[in-house]
Structure 1
């Protein structure tokens, strides 16, 4: 099984490179090759996920390595579905740039099982639900961010009067803004449910709530920032570039929550 992961990363890099070449030169043949490479990547990821689940005897999402892998796998999955349903080539590029980064970072994480003294504690179904909902919410937020980035790039191209055939493949502004909003609207309740499951697990396991934990604080901050974006969009009826930038900023807060806060968390000791 050890050879599957590096092979997957290599093929993933070629797929992302293909989509990038298509972005630069509008090369449809390269786009088709990139799509089929991405399909192979998804197949290898799925095989790896199943084999690791059988090897570990649990759902492999608990360790930092497994979390990053599942995050990348979910992004590849959603991008393939979108590619089959819609003509959104540049969206696939942005999504899989994030996915490829996550999978590459996972290479530098330990691939070993969780420590023995944590194994029994991490078998809780509540914890699995907590992590699952959080990771799926990250996928929704990444999709929202990808639509937002396409909006920003197209806005800058039009502002600088860089007209080309490439613009036709970005999608209309209202469509990009709407789908970005819908994805964020899905991500917020998913993350909120995940946080609630985490609180319930902490209370059952430790009879306390980790309000002062840096990971908890940053997760709540992430929800607040995304909540501010949704508030501007739904209540104040604000649309357009400035609101989209708030969405992009919220995703940056999400990344800080995912990577940096875990390094200083006194409660999320398995991360």
Structure 2
């Protein structure tokens, strides 16, 4: 337990230093800061992985079922995707925006209980179906975060081009076409994960392990369906209508804000999804 606490604090500290170094690079176009941020981020990934493994051994289950674990696993997924983006695509500022979001949500975990589930909830929630549901949902959130980061960069770069602010920094954003494509691909990958996750959640709720019913007007249920409909509309506009550009980047960014509100806020009024954030 003590080792886990030390690793957690060290992870938060190094993650904050990584984001700060990326911020310095963003402001000053500083390649040394960028390399330092990357190495900090790599160490963070190793520490996060060790922390998750220790917690799995400690509680003898996958560490996904408490609000604290959900946010930590999300942050791990974001760091993993950031390292992949950094290695294969070299869009420096995309990694920065992704990790601003990832670190912000991981920082929320500082205010959450770090202990295990109560025996009653552990018996209810320790289900392969529910674990798969949670895993798919969190991975979909990570994918939507990548799409959001691409959309933010698209909007910023669009304004820079509109105001004729040329320079080396502009080149490191990646082209508008690339950001538009990445945003679409990330959304395309995340949407089926979210859809499957929601379906599995419904199946679990009606199964012998669940509650045998779903209050359809519960805020969490309505919020999740709203996210599915909103992102479904985005994909329809992109694929069927062929819409591109600034308006679709803004649409995607708004979708992520709705998703974030659903994840962080609706559980306050939910009588169904009470073990989430």
TM (norm. structure 2) is 0.96
Residue 14 of structure 1 contacts residue 37 of structure 1 at CA under 8 Å; is this kept in 2? yes
Once the two structures are TM-superposed, the CA of residue 269 in structure 1 deviates from its matched residue by: 2.0
1:177 paired residue among 145, 169, 180: 180
2:141 paired residue among 131, 135, 138: 138
Partner of 1:213: 218
2:12 paired residue among 1, 9, 24: 9
1:112 matched to 2:115 = yes
Once the two structures are TM-superposed, the CA of residue 84 in structure 1 deviates from its matched residue by: 1.1
In structure 2, distance between residues paired with 1:177 and 1:87: 16
Residue 202 of structure 1 contacts residue 210 of structure 1 at CA under 8 Å; is this kept in 2? no
Corresponding pairs, count = 271
Once the two structures are TM-superposed, the CA of residue 57 in structure 1 deviates from its matched residue by: 0.5
Partner of 1:34: 37
Spell out, residue by residue over 1:116-155, the C-alpha distance to the aligned partner (whole angstroms, 9 max, x if none): 2211001111110111110000011001111111101101
Residue 214 of structure 1 contacts residue 265 of structure 1 at CA under 8 Å; is this kept in 2? yes
In structure 2, distance between residues paired with 1:113 and 1:93: 32
2:255 paired residue among 250, 255, 267: 250
1:155 paired residue among 152, 155, 158: 158
Residue 5 of structure 2: SS of its match in structure 1? coil
Q: Which runs of 4+ in 1 moved over 2 A?
A: none
In structure 2, distance between residues paired with 1:60 and 1:213: 26
Residue 214 of structure 2 contacts residue 272 of structure 2 at CA under 8 Å; is this kept in 1? no
Residue 114 of structure 1 contacts residue 270 of structure 1 at CA under 8 Å; is this kept in 2? no
2:59 paired residue among 27, 41, 56: 56
Spell out, residue by residue over 1:86-105, the C-alpha distance to the aligned partner (whole angstroms, 9 max, x if none): 21110000000011101111
Residue 164 of structure 2: SS of its match in structure 1? coil
Once the two structures are TM-superposed, the CA of residue 115 in structure 1 deviates from its matched residue by: 1.7
1:20 paired residue among 20, 23, 35: 23
Say what the alpha-carbon RMSD is for the aligned residues: 0.9
Partner of 1:98: 101
In structure 1, distance between residues paired with 2:213 and 2:5: 40
Spell out, residue by residue over 1:160-205, the C-alpha distance to the aligned partner (whole angstroms, 9 max, x if none): 2222210011111111101100100111110000000000000012
1:268 matched to 2:266 = no
